[in-house]
Structure 1
């Protein structure tokens, strides 16, 4: 009986160490820039019966939220960013309207802020162009950078509106799932 107990006593710590090691294999680690990439996906637009890849998007955040939820990512008042890489040419007006409509769908209606943000888009978006949307927690400001312009809009409310485009009400819920797929 003592032999069995002593073997179990030795086995339990070994099993716990093994479980910890396996768990750490899947732990999300920050990149060299200090950001954790929470996921990536492809925005697809359907025309008639044809699916067209519009852009590849990644989401990164400096501090992981306490819970794995869309709302936690929207509300996180930490440095975070989206990087979009165009997979095809996109008409400037179509992109502006899509972002404006998504903000409105998610309840953000400050026209002056939306116009300032979208004002950074001054020319057609070509295939392989990059659009970076970042939030600075220190400055409480959201910045969009792309070939042709940069704009910064202050306010946590605007950041939450922008993050709601991909983590709020969206016509492609699979994309939202992909953007948070690496969260523990």
Structure 2
């Protein structure tokens, strides 16, 4: 298994340094291997784009109570995306979970399923087209109808907070 991981790491790293056939590489493996089990990352990025707000605003809203650890981890994830000093980290952070199961453990869907539901519901509310099945993530299926109602209400509050100028 270790040889497989080393080989895959070399392949991913080498392909990240070459922009030729970028679309094909993205289709073949980037979409499938990047951020496995980290739904909150992709959903957060998409929600911020739809509402045209900076990611830091969403992190500030999340940085309360039971989601504080996720807010800190998401801020670190964003730092990895924009880092200039270490090209290696900037290229490979998306595949970190493949090589280290503890990488960004706080952002794994199983560790923050309530947050994933809130953000997914908010995204689906704001942009239904293309997000019809976003709430079909396996870890979100076990919530009771009452819990889904509470999380949906929280999602509406998140949308309202993101839209406010405060």
TM-score, normalised with respect to structure 2 = 0.30
Larger Rg: 1
Higher strand fraction: Structure 1 or Structure 2?
1
TM-score, normalised with respect to structure 1 = 0.28
